[in-house]
Amino acid sequence: MANRKIVVALGGNAILSSDPSATAQKAALVETAKHLVKLIKNGDDLIVTHGNGPQVGNLLLQNLAADSEKNPAFPLDTLVAMTEGSIGFWLQNALENELTKEGIEKEVASVVTQVVVDKADPAFVNLSKPIGPFYSEEEAKVEAEKTGATFKEDAGRGWRKVVASPKPVGIKEIGTIRTLIEAGTVVVAAGGGGIPVIKEEDGTLTGVEAVIDKDFASQTLAEMVDADLFIVLTGVDYVFVNYNKPDQAKLEKVTIAELEEYIQQNQFAPGSMLPKVQAAMAFVENKPESRAVITSLENLAALIESDSGTIIEKA
Protein backbone atom coordinates (compact mmCIF):
# COMPACT_ATOMS: atom_id res chain seq x y z
CA MET A 1 0.00 0.00 0.00
CA ALA A 2 1.69 3.17 -1.16
CA ASN A 3 0.88 6.89 -0.72
CA ARG A 4 0.87 6.57 3.03
CA LYS A 5 2.09 9.32 5.32
CA ILE A 6 4.72 7.65 7.50
CA VAL A 7 6.63 9.00 10.50
CA VAL A 8 9.82 7.01 11.15
CA ALA A 9 11.54 7.48 14.51
CA LEU A 10 15.17 6.44 14.14
CA GLY A 11 16.86 4.56 16.98
CA GLY A 12 20.27 5.64 18.28
CA ASN A 13 22.08 2.86 16.41
CA ALA A 14 20.99 4.45 13.11
CA ILE A 15 23.45 7.29 13.77
CA LEU A 16 26.07 6.27 16.32
CA SER A 17 28.07 3.07 16.53
CA SER A 18 31.12 2.74 18.80
CA ASP A 19 32.97 5.57 17.01
CA PRO A 20 31.65 9.03 17.97
CA SER A 21 33.53 10.91 15.22
CA ALA A 22 31.55 12.94 12.67
CA THR A 23 32.97 10.75 9.88
CA ALA A 24 31.66 7.54 11.46
CA GLN A 25 28.24 9.03 12.25
CA LYS A 26 27.86 10.32 8.69
CA ALA A 27 28.84 6.87 7.37
CA ALA A 28 26.19 5.22 9.59
CA LEU A 29 23.55 7.61 8.21
CA VAL A 30 24.52 6.74 4.62
CA GLU A 31 23.51 3.14 5.44
CA THR A 32 20.38 4.36 7.24
CA ALA A 33 19.34 6.42 4.21
CA LYS A 34 19.51 3.34 1.94
CA HIS A 35 16.86 1.66 4.09
CA LEU A 36 14.66 4.77 4.43
CA VAL A 37 14.63 5.39 0.67
CA LYS A 38 12.88 2.01 0.24
CA LEU A 39 9.76 3.62 1.72
CA ILE A 40 10.02 6.56 -0.70
CA LYS A 41 10.46 4.13 -3.63
CA ASN A 42 7.28 2.45 -2.40
CA GLY A 43 5.44 5.74 -2.97
CA ASP A 44 5.15 6.77 0.68
CA ASP A 45 5.51 10.29 2.10
CA LEU A 46 8.23 10.27 4.74
CA ILE A 47 8.84 12.28 7.91
CA VAL A 48 11.95 11.25 9.84
CA THR A 49 12.78 11.94 13.49
CA HIS A 50 15.99 11.02 15.30
CA GLY A 51 17.63 10.89 18.69
CA ASN A 52 20.58 13.00 19.85
CA GLY A 53 21.42 11.62 23.31
CA PRO A 54 25.12 10.79 22.79
CA GLN A 55 25.68 13.81 20.52
CA VAL A 56 24.19 16.38 22.89
CA GLY A 57 26.06 14.72 25.78
CA ASN A 58 29.37 15.03 23.91
CA LEU A 59 28.65 18.65 22.96
CA LEU A 60 27.80 19.46 26.58
CA LEU A 61 31.14 17.97 27.72
CA GLN A 62 32.99 19.99 25.06
CA ASN A 63 31.22 23.18 26.20
CA LEU A 64 32.01 22.52 29.86
CA ALA A 65 35.66 21.68 29.10
CA ALA A 66 36.14 25.00 27.28
CA ASP A 67 33.95 27.08 29.61
CA SER A 68 35.47 30.47 30.41
CA GLU A 69 34.44 34.11 30.62
CA LYS A 70 35.41 34.69 26.99
CA ASN A 71 34.02 31.36 25.76
CA PRO A 72 31.02 30.56 27.99
CA ALA A 73 29.24 27.20 27.81
CA PHE A 74 25.83 27.27 26.11
CA PRO A 75 22.58 26.25 27.82
CA LEU A 76 20.97 22.87 27.15
CA ASP A 77 18.17 24.10 24.87
CA THR A 78 20.78 25.67 22.59
CA LEU A 79 22.88 22.48 22.57
CA VAL A 80 19.77 20.50 21.55
CA ALA A 81 19.24 22.98 18.70
CA MET A 82 22.88 22.65 17.61
CA THR A 83 22.75 18.84 17.48
CA GLU A 84 19.36 18.94 15.79
CA GLY A 85 20.99 21.08 13.09
CA SER A 86 24.14 18.97 12.69
CA ILE A 87 22.38 15.58 12.64
CA GLY A 88 19.67 17.08 10.40
CA PHE A 89 22.37 18.13 7.93
CA TRP A 90 24.00 14.68 7.94
CA LEU A 91 20.67 12.92 7.46
CA GLN A 92 19.41 15.38 4.86
CA ASN A 93 22.64 15.03 2.88
CA ALA A 94 22.59 11.20 3.08
CA LEU A 95 18.94 11.02 1.94
CA GLU A 96 19.51 13.49 -0.91
CA ASN A 97 22.52 11.54 -2.17
CA GLU A 98 20.67 8.20 -1.98
CA LEU A 99 17.66 9.66 -3.84
CA THR A 100 20.01 10.99 -6.54
CA LYS A 101 21.56 7.51 -6.94
CA GLU A 102 18.07 6.03 -7.28
CA GLY A 103 17.09 8.66 -9.88
CA ILE A 104 14.31 10.04 -7.65
CA GLU A 105 13.75 13.80 -7.76
CA LYS A 106 12.66 14.84 -4.29
CA GLU A 107 13.51 17.67 -1.94
CA VAL A 108 14.69 16.89 1.61
CA ALA A 109 14.40 19.54 4.34
CA SER A 110 15.38 19.60 8.01
CA VAL A 111 13.26 21.69 10.37
CA VAL A 112 14.81 22.91 13.62
CA THR A 113 11.78 22.12 15.75
CA GLN A 114 10.53 23.83 18.91
CA VAL A 115 8.40 21.41 20.94
CA VAL A 116 6.02 23.02 23.41
CA VAL A 117 5.91 21.63 26.95
CA ASP A 118 3.70 22.63 29.87
CA LYS A 119 5.48 24.75 32.51
CA ALA A 120 3.18 23.06 35.09
CA ASP A 121 4.39 19.57 34.06
CA PRO A 122 5.39 17.73 37.28
CA ALA A 123 8.63 16.75 35.49
CA PHE A 124 9.91 20.27 36.29
CA VAL A 125 9.63 19.42 40.01
CA ASN A 126 10.73 15.77 39.82
CA LEU A 127 13.95 16.17 37.83
CA SER A 128 14.91 12.75 36.45
CA LYS A 129 17.00 12.93 33.27
CA PRO A 130 20.77 12.67 33.95
CA ILE A 131 23.04 14.66 31.61
CA GLY A 132 26.69 15.62 31.40
CA PRO A 133 29.76 14.36 33.28
CA PHE A 134 30.01 12.33 36.48
CA TYR A 135 31.13 14.13 39.63
CA SER A 136 32.16 13.02 43.11
CA GLU A 137 29.69 13.98 45.85
CA GLU A 138 31.91 16.90 46.89
CA GLU A 139 32.29 18.19 43.31
CA ALA A 140 28.52 17.90 42.80
CA LYS A 141 27.88 20.02 45.92
CA VAL A 142 30.27 22.72 44.66
CA GLU A 143 28.63 22.72 41.18
CA ALA A 144 25.15 22.85 42.71
CA GLU A 145 26.06 25.87 44.84
CA LYS A 146 27.72 27.60 41.88
CA THR A 147 25.02 26.97 39.25
CA GLY A 148 21.83 26.14 41.18
CA ALA A 149 21.57 22.85 39.28
CA THR A 150 20.26 19.63 40.87
CA PHE A 151 22.54 16.58 41.11
CA LYS A 152 21.61 12.98 41.85
CA GLU A 153 23.63 9.83 42.42
CA ASP A 154 23.56 7.73 39.23
CA ALA A 155 23.66 3.92 39.63
CA GLY A 156 26.78 3.91 41.78
CA ARG A 157 28.85 5.60 39.06
CA GLY A 158 28.96 9.08 40.61
CA TRP A 159 26.78 12.17 40.76
CA ARG A 160 25.25 13.76 37.66
CA LYS A 161 23.19 16.82 36.91
CA VAL A 162 19.51 16.00 36.36
CA VAL A 163 17.01 17.99 34.31
CA ALA A 164 13.30 17.75 33.59
CA SER A 165 11.90 15.35 30.98
CA PRO A 166 8.45 16.87 30.31
CA LYS A 167 5.83 15.43 27.97
CA PRO A 168 5.38 17.26 24.62
CA VAL A 169 2.04 19.08 24.17
CA GLY A 170 2.55 20.71 20.77
CA ILE A 171 4.95 21.53 17.94
CA LYS A 172 5.50 25.16 16.99
CA GLU A 173 6.53 24.49 13.37
CA ILE A 174 3.74 22.01 12.62
CA GLY A 175 2.21 24.27 9.90
CA THR A 176 5.54 24.48 8.09
CA ILE A 177 6.06 20.71 8.39
CA ARG A 178 2.58 20.01 6.97
CA THR A 179 3.21 22.41 4.07
CA LEU A 180 6.49 20.66 3.23
CA ILE A 181 4.84 17.21 3.32
CA GLU A 182 2.02 18.40 1.06
CA ALA A 183 4.65 19.67 -1.40
CA GLY A 184 6.15 16.13 -1.53
CA THR A 185 9.23 17.03 0.52
CA VAL A 186 10.93 14.45 2.73
CA VAL A 187 11.02 16.12 6.16
CA VAL A 188 13.48 15.64 9.02
CA ALA A 189 11.96 17.11 12.20
CA ALA A 190 11.74 16.95 16.02
CA GLY A 191 15.36 15.77 16.28
CA GLY A 192 16.37 14.72 19.79
CA GLY A 193 12.79 15.23 20.95
CA GLY A 194 12.92 18.83 19.73
CA ILE A 195 13.94 21.99 21.56
CA PRO A 196 11.81 22.28 24.72
CA VAL A 197 9.97 25.60 24.95
CA ILE A 198 7.23 26.86 27.26
CA LYS A 199 4.49 29.28 26.25
CA GLU A 200 4.48 32.45 28.34
CA GLU A 201 1.27 34.30 29.30
CA ASP A 202 1.82 36.80 26.46
CA GLY A 203 2.05 33.95 23.93
CA THR A 204 5.82 34.12 23.46
CA LEU A 205 7.99 31.00 23.67
CA THR A 206 11.00 30.54 25.95
CA GLY A 207 13.56 27.73 25.77
CA VAL A 208 13.95 25.69 28.96
CA GLU A 209 16.58 23.40 30.47
CA ALA A 210 14.96 20.04 29.76
CA VAL A 211 15.14 16.95 27.54
CA ILE A 212 12.03 15.63 25.78
CA ASP A 213 11.82 11.89 25.15
CA LYS A 214 12.29 11.47 21.39
CA ASP A 215 9.72 8.68 21.11
CA PHE A 216 6.96 10.80 22.67
CA ALA A 217 7.93 13.82 20.54
CA SER A 218 7.81 11.57 17.46
CA GLN A 219 4.38 10.28 18.49
CA THR A 220 3.10 13.86 18.94
CA LEU A 221 4.44 14.76 15.49
CA ALA A 222 2.85 11.64 13.93
CA GLU A 223 -0.53 12.60 15.37
CA MET A 224 -0.25 16.25 14.32
CA VAL A 225 0.62 15.42 10.69
CA ASP A 226 -2.18 12.82 10.66
CA ALA A 227 0.20 9.95 9.81
CA ASP A 228 -1.18 6.64 8.54
CA LEU A 229 1.71 4.71 10.04
CA PHE A 230 4.14 5.41 12.89
CA ILE A 231 7.32 3.30 12.74
CA VAL A 232 9.56 3.23 15.80
CA LEU A 233 12.96 1.80 14.91
CA THR A 234 15.11 -0.02 17.43
CA GLY A 235 17.92 -2.60 17.44
CA VAL A 236 15.68 -5.67 17.04
CA ASP A 237 13.16 -6.81 14.39
CA TYR A 238 10.46 -7.48 17.00
CA VAL A 239 9.50 -6.55 20.54
CA PHE A 240 9.95 -9.58 22.80
CA VAL A 241 8.42 -10.72 26.05
CA ASN A 242 10.58 -12.71 28.49
CA TYR A 243 13.52 -11.15 26.62
CA ASN A 244 16.78 -13.14 26.81
CA LYS A 245 15.05 -15.94 28.76
CA PRO A 246 14.49 -19.53 27.57
CA ASP A 247 10.78 -18.79 26.94
CA GLN A 248 11.47 -15.55 25.01
CA ALA A 249 8.66 -14.86 22.52
CA LYS A 250 8.38 -12.26 19.76
CA LEU A 251 5.26 -10.13 19.46
CA GLU A 252 3.90 -9.91 15.91
CA LYS A 253 0.37 -8.47 15.93
CA VAL A 254 -0.51 -7.13 19.37
CA THR A 255 -3.32 -5.00 20.85
CA ILE A 256 -3.10 -2.10 23.29
CA ALA A 257 -4.81 -4.22 25.98
CA GLU A 258 -2.22 -6.98 25.59
CA LEU A 259 0.64 -4.48 25.79
CA GLU A 260 -0.86 -2.91 28.93
CA GLU A 261 -0.79 -6.34 30.56
CA TYR A 262 2.86 -6.86 29.54
CA ILE A 263 3.74 -3.44 31.00
CA GLN A 264 2.12 -4.50 34.31
CA GLN A 265 4.44 -7.55 34.20
CA ASN A 266 7.48 -5.22 33.73
CA GLN A 267 8.30 -6.90 30.40
CA PHE A 268 9.87 -3.78 28.83
CA ALA A 269 12.97 -2.01 30.12
CA PRO A 270 12.38 1.60 31.29
CA GLY A 271 14.41 4.10 29.27
CA SER A 272 14.83 1.53 26.49
CA MET A 273 11.91 -0.45 25.03
CA LEU A 274 9.22 0.89 27.39
CA PRO A 275 8.99 4.46 25.99
CA LYS A 276 8.91 3.04 22.44
CA VAL A 277 6.00 0.76 23.34
CA GLN A 278 4.19 3.54 25.22
CA ALA A 279 4.61 6.02 22.34
CA ALA A 280 3.34 3.46 19.80
CA MET A 281 0.36 2.65 22.06
CA ALA A 282 -0.52 6.34 22.53
CA PHE A 283 -0.44 6.94 18.77
CA VAL A 284 -2.84 4.05 18.06
CA GLU A 285 -5.05 5.02 21.03
CA ASN A 286 -5.44 8.53 19.62
CA LYS A 287 -5.68 7.43 15.95
CA PRO A 288 -7.50 4.06 16.05
CA GLU A 289 -7.68 3.79 12.23
CA SER A 290 -3.88 3.95 12.02
CA ARG A 291 -1.14 1.52 13.00
CA ALA A 292 2.20 1.64 14.74
CA VAL A 293 5.12 -0.71 14.16
CA ILE A 294 8.23 -1.34 16.25
CA THR A 295 11.01 -2.98 14.27
CA SER A 296 14.62 -2.57 13.10
CA LEU A 297 16.00 -0.43 10.30
CA GLU A 298 17.20 -3.58 8.52
CA ASN A 299 13.66 -5.02 8.60
CA LEU A 300 12.02 -2.10 6.73
CA ALA A 301 12.05 -3.93 3.37
CA ALA A 302 10.30 -6.94 4.97
CA LEU A 303 7.80 -4.58 6.59
CA ILE A 304 6.93 -3.08 3.18
CA GLU A 305 6.51 -6.52 1.60
CA SER A 306 4.85 -8.53 4.35
CA ASP A 307 3.95 -6.54 7.48
CA SER A 308 7.02 -7.83 9.33
CA GLY A 309 7.76 -6.40 12.80
CA THR A 310 5.69 -5.84 15.94
CA ILE A 311 2.43 -4.32 14.68
CA ILE A 312 0.28 -2.52 17.25
CA GLU A 313 -3.44 -2.15 16.62
CA LYS A 314 -6.26 -0.77 18.74
CA ALA A 315 -8.01 -4.11 19.21
Could you list the active site residues? 12-13, 129, 214, 276
How far lies 46's CA from each of 5, 9, 271, in Å? 6, 11, 26
* Rounded Cα–Cα distance for residues 70 and 60 (Å): 17
Other Cβ atoms within 10 Å of 2 Cβ, number: 10
Specify the DSSP class assigned to residue 73. P
Contact 285, 256 (CB under 8 A): yes
